[in-house]
Amino acid sequence: MPEFCKIERDSHVTTITIDRPDVMNAIHPPASWELAKAFDAFAADPDAWVAILTGAGDRAFSAGNDLKFQAAGGKLEWPPSGFAGITARWDNAKPVIAAVNGLALGGGFEIVLACDIAIASEKASFGLPEPRVGLAALAGGLHRLPRQIGTKAAMGMLLTGRRIDAREALALGIVNEVVAPGDVLAAARRWADAICECSPVSVRTTKRVALDGLDHASLREAMDARYPAIAELVKSADFVEGPLAFSQKRKPNWKGR
């Protein structure tokens, strides 16, 4: 059984909880390896369509890298899929929703940036304070933040290490919705259920093509590129079922393949 995270499955939704509330869900390598295994299992399960990632308790989503573990000489060996098993997980086409229930600092913020959708508590706050302790946001924050909110806004956070609250995060486009503290998981589940109403193959194709398209310098290059995920969609049972259900005025019976 995992020691540093909890995994729950309800229908097609998997909820993964970082479970180190005594250290504000800070993540050390053993926790990262556990989370990596949890995401490996999610990615491999054809009946798991969406994941929700959150933190235990009501104080923190994750305070980031466990600096006390590092200062005590703990061995820093991270999984190939990155910090928390997600920041370098380039092959996951399934949606991941961050349910940010409190502080998301340093690596904790980098986890949020690695998710596809983020729901934040009104009490949540975000920041990359690594320069204040002689470090740098090397788990993707230095690259994801400028891409997600623009260079000037990102540099204002990166170079000062300042925190922003949930409302500013919403205005910058870092989170999709801000809700009351006790409603974060319910709101994340609402988004997950909306995704599950769609074809899982269409959702995976959409995520893959949208993100792969960002690798191209121009809109025309992105649109002219070939994407293997589109061939997967066209050959899928869902590609047949969707139009058929629409014509028969019934709810689709998605196969996810």
Whole-number Å distance between alpha carbons of 101 and 183: 9
Is 122 among the catalytic positions?
no
pLDDT at 75: 79
Whole-number Å distance between alpha carbons of 247 and 257: 20
How remote is the C-alpha of 95 from its chain's centroid? 7
Which residue in the list 3, 8, 34, 130 is annotated as catalytic? 130
Is 130 among the catalytic positions?
yes
Gyration radius from the chain CA atoms: 19
User: Looking at the chain, how many residues does it have?
Assistant: 257
How is residue 39 written in tokens? 């995401």
Average pLDDT, the chain: 96
Report pLDDT digits (tens) over 129-157: 999 989 999 999 999 999 999 999 999 99
pTM: 0.96
Which residue in the list 3, 34, 77, 110 is annotated as catalytic? 110
User: What does the buried/exposed string (b/e) look like for 201-224 if buried means 16 or more CB atoms within 10 Å of the residue's CB?
Assistant: bebbbbbbbeeeeeeeeeeeebee
